[in-house]
Amino acid sequence: MPHTAHMTQPNIVDRPTFVSHLECAATGERYPADTVHGLSRVGKPLLVRYDLDRVRDVLSRAVLAARAPDMWKWREMLPVRATANIVSLGEVATPLVPVPVLGDRHGAVAPIVKDEGRLPTGSFKARGLVMAVSMAKELGIRRIAMPTNGNAGAAMAAYCAAAGIESYVFCPDDTPEVNVREIALQGAKVWRVNGLIGDCGRIVGDGREAMGWFDLSTLKEPYRIEGKKTMGLELVEQLGWQVPDVIFYPTGGGTGLIGMWKAFAELEAIGLIGPERPRMVAVQASGCAPIVNAWKAGADHAEPVANAHTVASGIRVPGAIGDFLILNAVRESGGFAIAVDDDAIIEVRDRVAREGGFLLCPEGAATAAAWEAALDQGLIARTDRAVLYNCASGLKYPMPPADAAIDRHQPIDWAAIR
């Protein structure tokens, strides 16, 4: 029997597809679909556009409710044409988990965490990379490279292995060890680089001609946005076809925030929701906050941050190519951008784990710290229904040591154990 990655996925069946064209996010210039593209002619991200009138004719709340709860239930709003090109590892719908330990502390409605750590490779990067790699397969791309702070590289390595595509990954030399090892174990060629993710990105760009690889850097191809937008599609259905009051999103390259904003517009266009929108909050770390700086300055673009640093490596992105799209979504939604200190990130991670049993990743903990700060600053109300994105499993990151030991051959001091 021939191997196909989607054979075990009952929801991945042939469905009509409705991609009409690609469009420059800055100029609106149109590009043909079903052709390999990177950035637009003016060096900006390309967005996938659909014939939404036709989508509206075939998709309804009832149709979606009857499908299995995974990412591919949204197939008519995704770009992969041929079912055989879907390289799935089991992209489940991730749960919404209330965190009462946070709500009780502040006398507020408990925020809800959308726990993306349940996805393949343990992070929300699976959403974007399954789409990008599936489209690479569809378009005949055989070699891919990308820079990563960890989780994106792990997801790309896994999906490239499943697709039979050669993969190359470059990561800052302080990338968490577990990420580097999982990238290597899943078949990619991986190198540590003595710099930040931008330095890794330059290596990928410099190697395109010599190595013949396709650059899968954030927003330098059109399809990771389409995978990440499923976070918004899924969230709205899980909330009974309502949007929350506010979304706190850990923002590095910002693909997910951009994708969710696109998702809400598309859902309205096909009649599944109305014009209501959540306030979108871009959460960054104080040591790497280019979007926050631009938002405060009223700027359309973010100046890159020098000497970027934070314990939340996934949001340590000194400059984002989609900065204007992030800022547009934040402003159009009536949201804001907020930075939190590393000390606050670690404190809330440890507190929520110890008191509530929920192990947030550092980037997810940044959204919790930002929610607390926003309450304190009066930026949100205690009655607001807030969604926090925990973008990866906390198990993938370094944790505090736990070195206590017992010598079974010696008397046990029970008072010391209490």
Q: Do domains 96-121+225-396 and 125-215 have the same CATH topology?
A: yes
Q: Can you list the residues of the chain whose pLDDT is less than 70?
A: 1-11
Indicate the CATH number of 96-121+225-396 among 3.90.1310.10, 3.40.50.1100, 3.40.190.10, 1.20.1540.10: 3.40.50.1100
For residues 129 and 157, the answer to whether their CB atoms sit within 8 Å is: no
Q: What are phi and psi of 249, to 5 degrees?
A: -125, 125
Give the whole-angstrom CA distance, residue 308 versus residue 253: 14
Supply 285's token pair.
């770390």
Question: How much is the pLDDT for 219?
Answer: 87
For residues 370 and 283, the answer to whether their CB atoms sit within 8 Å is: yes
Single out the residue of 258, 237, 304, 260 nearest to residue 70, CA to CA: 237
pLDDT digits (tens, 9 = 90+) for 137-151: 999 999 999 999 999
Please list the residues that pair with 24 across neighbouring strands: 46
Q: What's 391-403 look like in SS3?
A: CEEHHHCCCCCCC
Let me know how long the chain is.
418
Strand, coil or helix: 408: coil
Q: Where are the alpha helices (DSSP H) in 89-171?
A: 100-106, 125-138, 151-163
Q: DSSP for 266-328?
A: HHHHTTSS-S--PEEEEEEETTB-HHHHHHHHT-SS-PPPTT---S-GGG--S--TTHHHHHH
Topology of domain 125-215 in CATH is Rossmann fold (3.40.50)
Give the whole-angstrom CA distance, residue 281 versus residue 278: 9
Give the torsion through C-alpha atoms of 70, 79, 215, 149, to 10 deg: -20
Domain boundaries, the chain: 19-85, 96-121+225-396, 125-215
Question: How much is the pLDDT for 5?
Answer: 42
Give the whole-angstrom CA distance, residue 245 versus residue 251: 19
Question: How much is the pLDDT for 3?
Answer: 42
Identity at 364, one-letter amino acid code: G
Supply 98's token pair.
């209330």
Question: How much is the pLDDT for 418?
Answer: 85
Give the whole-angstrom CA distance, residue 212 versus residue 228: 27
Residues 6+ apart with CB under 8 A from 175: 148, 149, 150, 192, 313
Single out the residue of 125, 126, 128, 166 nearest to residue 149, CA to CA: 125
User: Residue 211: left if φ>0, alpha if ψ -120 to 50, beta else—which one?
Assistant: alpha
Is this model's pTM higher than 0.85 or not? yes
In a 13 Å sphere around the CA of 189, the CA atoms on its Cβ side amount to 10
Supply 263's token pair.
């998702």
Give the whole-angstrom CA distance, residue 82 versus residue 63: 21
* Distance, CA of 298 to chain centre: 25
Question: How much is the pLDDT for 11?
Answer: 64
